[in-house]
A and B are shown apart, each in its own frame.
Chain A
Amino acid sequence: MKEEQNLITKLKGEMALSAEESTELDALLDSSSSIGNVIRDLPHEEPNLVWRSQLNEKLSVLAEKPKRRIGLWKWASGVVVVGAASLAVWSVVNTRTPVIATTNTTIADSTNFEDQLMQSHVESAAAMDVSSAYALDVVSSKETSYTGEEEWSTSDLESL
């Protein structure tokens, strides 16, 4: 009796049954088959003709609809997606974007920053010295400026 109650408890809890319990359950189902006959004998009610007519109308509408080419649509949409993805990848790879970077790579590579800075200044000054704008400016200043340091001598005046 206790085993039977345990089995019922397991059945209600939908727990896993042992091999013996499964065999016992099969036997119980066999012995209760007359209940199955009662259920089998329940009458089946036929739907009325109005119901059937409504169903036929709905089905005929569906039958007249052309079949959707689901496979074709799937294929076409797949091609479009792959094409769009390829285009996007190509445009990313082949587009040249401006590169922002510092230009003092020489200084950065140098081990002595001060020496490089000094060299850069000297070179810049030399470049200014040899430039035409500076030379003209010097010539111009020599021609126009008079400091008064050179005075005329008496002999110079007499020779005039």
Chain B
Amino acid sequence: MSQYLGVMGLQIPKRLDSETEQALIHQCRKRNFDAFGKVVDAYQARVLGFVKRMVRNPEEALDVTQEVFIKAFTAFERFDGRCSLKTWLFRIAYNLCVDRSRKAERSLTEVSIEASDPESDPLEFADERWSPIEMLMTDELQLVVEEALRTMSPKLKTVLLLHDAEELAYEEIASTVGVPVGTVKSRLFLARAHMKAHIEEYRRGEVQ
């Protein structure tokens, strides 16, 4: 049994194809340490990215991410395969983040999207405001996006990250968060509007 799977794992492709994933799942159910190491290799960065944006504190995010994989390892026998492995891992991550927030007595109240600036962010429905040309990621824009995520309600942020960053389906997000699909769509739109408001503000400041 290898104790250095982290080093070994660097050579493993980050995206598991369906066949490989099914084989790994089969082995992980038998508590195969090496197979689970490959699962960790495939998903550790994505899970850490999600957790880091949910709990804010980087050290805490690392701890929570470890906890995600430990929980997954011990509970793998109960993974029934009705959802994808990725969805299952992010469900564990989401639940742990919510638990941490509750324990830390953090406020989970909504941050209204109107809080940015209602005058400059009228939430119009004109399509040109989503222009892809203006959405090229730069280091500076990345900071703006991260700042927008920090000021976003956890409810909106969860849906935005799971849908847009992790590409989970509406139904998968709905079952993970425990809300109807329609609510997921509503939250996704509001989250994008919140994000758009921050980016627009950044763009105006850059022009000036």
Tell yes or no: A85 within 8 A of B by CB.
Answer: no
Residue on B with the closest CB to A22? B182
16 contacts between A and B (CB under 8 A): A8-B123, A14-B183, A17-B186, A25-B185, A29-B189, A32-B130, A32-B189, A32-B192, A35-B164, A36-B164, A37-B132, A54-B66, A55-B6, A58-B66, A62-B70, A63-B73
A32/B196 in contact, CB under 8 A: yes
B3 close to A56 (CB less than 8 A) = yes
A14-B183, A39-B160, A47-B48 in contact; A56/B4 too (CB < 8 A)?
Answer: yes
Choose among B70, B112, B124 the residue that contacts A55 (Cβ–Cβ < 8 A): B70
Contact assessment for B195 and A46 in the assembled complex, using a CB-CB cutoff below 8 Å: no
- The residue that B44 contacts in the complex, of A17, A41, A47, with Cβ under 8 A, is A47
A124 at the interface (CB under 8 A from B): no
- Asked whether A96 is an interface residue with its Cβ less than 8 Å from the other chain, the reply is no
What is the interface of chain A, defined by CB distance below 8 A to chain B? 4, 8, 10-12, 14, 16-17, 22, 25-26, 28-29, 31-47, 49, 51-60, 62-63, 67
**B62 lies within 8 A of A51 (CB):** yes
Instruction: Give the chain A neighbours of B127 by CB distance below 8 A.
Output: 31
Which B residues lie within 8 Å of A22 (CB)?
182, 185
Closest Cβ–Cβ distance, residue A156 to chain B (whole Å):
124
Instruction: Tell me, in angstroms, the Cα distance from A4 to B132 when the chains sit together.
Output: 23
User: What 8 pairs between A and B have smallest CB-CB spacing?
Assistant: A52-B6, A39-B164, A36-B164, A44-B45, A34-B132, A35-B192, A44-B49, A11-B186
DSSP majority for the A interface?
A: helix
A109, B100: Cα distance in complex, Å = 77
B165 CB-CB contact with A under 8 Å: yes
Report Cα–Cα, A31/B129, bound state, in Å: 9
- Name A49's contact: one of B6, B146, B186, B189 (CB within 8 Å): B6
Q: Are A12 and B112 in contact (CB under 8 A)?
A: yes
For B91, the chain A residues whose CB sits under 8 A away are none
Binding site for A on B (CB under 8 A): 1, 3-7, 9, 31, 33, 36-37, 40, 44-46, 48-49, 52, 62, 65-66, 69-70, 73-74, 112-113, 123-125, 127, 130-132, 135, 137, 141-142, 145-146, 160-161, 163-165, 167, 182-183, 185-190, 192-193, 195-196, 199
Provide the bound-state CA to CA distance between A43 and B141, in Å: 12
A35-B130 contact given A40-B164, A47-B44, A55-B70, CB 8 Å threshold:
yes
Question: Assuming the A-B contacts A17-B182, A38-B145, A56-B37, are A51 and B130 also in contact, with contact meaning beta carbons closer than 8 angstroms in the complex?
Answer: no
Among candidates A4, A8, A16, A59, residue contacting B70 with C-beta atoms closer than 8 Å: A59
Q: A39-B161, A39-B195 are in contact. Are A55 and B66 (CB under 8 A)?
A: yes
**Which residue from A34, A43, A52, A59 sits with its C-beta under 8 Å from B142?**
A43
Residues of B within 8 A of A41 (CB): 137
A contact residues around B70 at 8 Å (CB) = 55, 58-59, 62
With contacts A32-B196, A36-B192, A56-B3 known, is A42 near B165, CB below 8 A?
Answer: yes
Q: How far apart sit A36 and B145, CA to CA, in the bound complex (Å)?
A: 11
In whole Å, how far is B50's beta carbon from the nearest beta carbon of chain A?
9
Q: Which of B7, B48, B113, B130 touches A44 (beta carbons < 8 Å)? A: B48
Residues of B within 8 A of A11 (CB): 186, 189-190
Q: Are A63 and B31 in contact (CB under 8 A)?
A: yes
Q: List, in ascending order, chain B residues with CB within 8 A of A63's CB.
A: 1, 31, 33, 73
